[in-house]
């Protein structure tokens, strides 16, 4: 193959992150969907590429397979520095990565599909309990995130500065996910405004779940 191959699922918010980064870096890829609700990510052929059975994976033309969305995005940043997804200053880089990890560590994994399914299995959680769980973990982290972003002295259009980066990528993918569980975004106006500013850009719009080849 000549182009990298993105293993994705339209609704996966971690795959959404990588799709945005690929678009910002202007790296054309082929797309292969793995339907998570049908369990296609656990097919033996896919498990040989990604033993965790998770999307996304980025398969490079030489056969190297990269996994974990933030590791893939850092790889793209290191090998294709322009346009940058991280600022140059080490303190600012740490601030951007911290916002990304607030979402990528403290919200998304706890609300991932397989965790929600396990709540149903272990504790008999019904749809209302699942939605309550989801919203609880979003709100627990979006409250300090909103506070932090609303207090930025510059009131930038994006999380940090006048161009979107790693923090915005994670923020947008999480906000898109929130809509499925009716998170009340009125408490998070700065987060919402940054999401909306990002979604005006083709790199974000073209990465959205609804316009992927496997969208339902």
Min separation Cβ 190 and its own copies, Å: 13
Residue choice 2, 79, 154, 186 for contact with its own copies (CB under 8 A): 79
The interface with its own copies within residues 152-211 (CB under 8 A) comprises none
Handedness of CA 212, 195, 97, 99 (dihedral sign): negative
Q: What is the spatial distance between Cα 139 and Cα 116, in angstroms, rounded to a whole number?
A: 17
Q: How far is the CB of 108 from its own copies (least distance, A)?
A: 7
Between CA 51 and CA 28 the distance in angstroms is 25
- Determine the Cα–Cα distance for residues 203 and 32; give it in Å rounded to an integer: 19
Is there a contact between 97 and 77 (Cβ–Cβ < 8 Å)? no
**Scanning residues 96 to 135, which ones bind its own copies (CB under 8 A)?**
97-98, 100-102, 104-106, 108-110, 114-115, 118-119, 122-123, 125, 129, 132-133
Strand locations in the chain (E): 5-8, 30-33, 57-59, 65-67
Which residues here bind its own copies, judged by CB under 8 A?
51-54, 64, 66-68, 70-72, 74-75, 78-79, 90-91, 93-95, 97-98, 100-102, 104-106, 108-110, 114-115, 118-119, 122-123, 125, 129, 132-133, 136, 140-141, 144, 147-148
């Amino acid at each position: 193959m000549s182009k990298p191959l993105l293993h994705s699922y339209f609704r996966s918010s971690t795959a959404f992150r990588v799709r945005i980064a690929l678009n910002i870096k202007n790296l054309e890829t082929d797309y292969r969907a793995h339907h998570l609700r049908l369990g296609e990510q656990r097919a033996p052929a896919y498990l040989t590429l990604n033993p965790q059975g998770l999307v996304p994976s980025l398969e490079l033309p030489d056969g190297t397979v990269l996994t974990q969305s933030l590791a893939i995005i850092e790889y793209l940043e290191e090998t294709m520095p322009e346009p940058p997804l991280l600022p140059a200053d080490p303190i600012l880089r740490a601030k951007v990565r911290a916002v990304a990890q607030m979402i990528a560590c403290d919200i998304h994994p706890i609300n991932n599909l397989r965790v929600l399914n396990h709540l149903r299995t272990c504790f008999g959680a019904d749809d209302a309990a699942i939605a309550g769980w989801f919203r609880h973990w979003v709100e627990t982290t979006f409250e300090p995130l909103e506070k932090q972003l609303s207090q930025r002295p510059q009131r930038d259009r994006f999380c940090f500065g006048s161009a979107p980066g790693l923090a915005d990528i994670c923020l947008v993918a999480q906000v898109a996910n929130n809509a499925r569980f009716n998170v009340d975004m009125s408490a998070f106006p700065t987060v919402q405004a940054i999401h909306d500013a990002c979604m005006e850009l083709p790199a974000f719009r073209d990465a959205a779940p609804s316009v992927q080849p496997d969208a339902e």
